[in-house]
Amino acid sequence: MNDTQIKIIEAAEIEFAEMGYGGASVRDITKRAGVNIAAINYHFGSKEVLFKEMVRYRIEPINRVRIDLLEAALAENVNRPLALVEIVDIIIRPLLTKFISESCEDFRFMRAMGKGMDENNSFMKELHEDILKEVVTKFSKAISDSLGNPGLEKTAYGMHFLSCTIAGVMMQHTRLKFMSDGKIDLNDIDGLCDHLVAFITAGLKAAAEVNSKN
């Protein structure tokens, strides 16, 4: 990705965070980026493609880090099941560390993603499935193995709840300040990750132990 594309993506991220996908204007994005509309048409073709590439630009490097960390941990453990808390930490910490440390009080990518998902655009579902396919496949197996292979249904429920919880935390992160009466620093990455990892780990274990009534 060249410098012009990155400049446009970073400008679009601000616009999407402030206005949502539907409210974002290509013309305003060009003003923020200091380019003309022809540049967006040339590099991306449409607002939808621009949004998709913004997500890929931010998420795909993190997915690579997650997968590399998981594979390294499995290799060190001689491919035996990992502790569930370790797997969940690998899923969560690289993601939140990246976005909170870079955004500070702005949290713009988190807000841009949150608003985009909230608008329920059809392409968002396809994009979500596409960029997470490899991650979901590899981490579903690792989590299932760690839980003693409770079955596809329970693993699927667990992965669904995990994904929704992370998305909710990203979309509503600033509410934490209100919930804590201002006592929690929104930039406390370790505190957020530690609590979220503990919460999700316990939830995955609980979901795996549910006896469904048929």
So where are the chain's domains? 48-208
List, for residues 20-77, the tens digit of each pLDDT value. 888 999 999 999 999 998 999 999 999 999 999 998 998 899 999 999 999 999 999 9
Helices (H), 77-107: 84-103
pTM of the predicted structure, to 2 decimals: 0.85
Region of 157 please: left (phi>0), alpha (psi -120 to 50) or beta: alpha
**Spatial distance between the Cα atoms of 197 and 204, rounded to a whole number of angstroms:** 11
Residue-wise burial string across 66-75, b where 16 or more C-beta atoms lie within 10 A, e elsewhere: bbebbeebbe
CATH architecture of 48-208: Orthogonal Bundle (1.10)
**Cβ atoms of residues 8 and 35 within 8 Å:** yes
Helix or strand or coil: residue 123? helix
Q: Report the candidate in 135, 151, 141, 136 with the shortest Cα–Cα distance to residue 208.
A: 151
| 165-200 confidence digits (pLDDT tens) | 988 888 788 889 999 999 999 889 999 999 999 999
